[in-house]
Amino acid sequence: MNQAELKQRMTMLFELEIESVTELLRILDDERDALMKHDPHVIEQIAQKKLRHLDDIEDWGRKRDALLRSAGYPCTREGIMRYLAEHTDTGLDGHWRALEQLLHQCQQQNEVNGGVVSLSRRHVQRALGILRGLPAEQSLYNAAGNAEEIPFSKTLATA
């Protein structure tokens, strides 16, 4: 494969990856909204859509890796960076930076969504504990500044 074909294919793959990752970021935003609304049906639909997009992104990455490998570069971030450094005339460095930025935004949004899930889970666990009459856990800080679970019980009613 000549350099023009390699550049054309790399450009196409980067554009497809950017498109897929941009859509994944939109899906993660939708997921956050569904998590905040506690809508399990919508959350399930979004989870399936997210998995499909992750599969697409992995597929584009495998194709990019195969292209790098065929050009004699390792299939690593360093391999991509070396390719970009040796082919500055391709304009692909902007595509790569955009892709990295989008992936970073996806990671941040996924962490936010994980926090929402964790908070909801703690609320449900506390509510279940109260319903079961179990002592609740109250998080306080100790002298070292670390969170420490302090058990306490509260009687809701007596007969």
pLDDT for the residue numbered 3: 81
pLDDT one-digit tens code per residue, 8-33: 998 999 999 999 999 999 999 999 99
Q: How many domains does the chain have?
A: 1
In contact, 120 and 39? CB cutoff 8 Å: no
pLDDT one-digit tens code per residue, 121-141: 776 777 776 777 766 555 555
User: Which ranges of the chain have pLDDT less than 50?
Assistant: none
Range of the domain at 58: 3-135
SS (H, E, C) 1-22: CCHHHHHHHHHHHHHHHHHHHH
Answer whether residue 21 is part of any domain: yes
Instruction: In whole angstroms, give the CA distance from residue 21 to residue 99.
Output: 8
Answer whether residue 150 is part of any domain: no
Identify the CATH number of the domain in which residue 29 sits. 1.20.58.300
Alpha carbon 106 to its chain's center: 5
Answer whether residue 157 is part of any domain: no
Answer whether residue 144 is part of any domain: no
How many C-beta neighbours within 10 Å does residue 16 have? Answer: 16
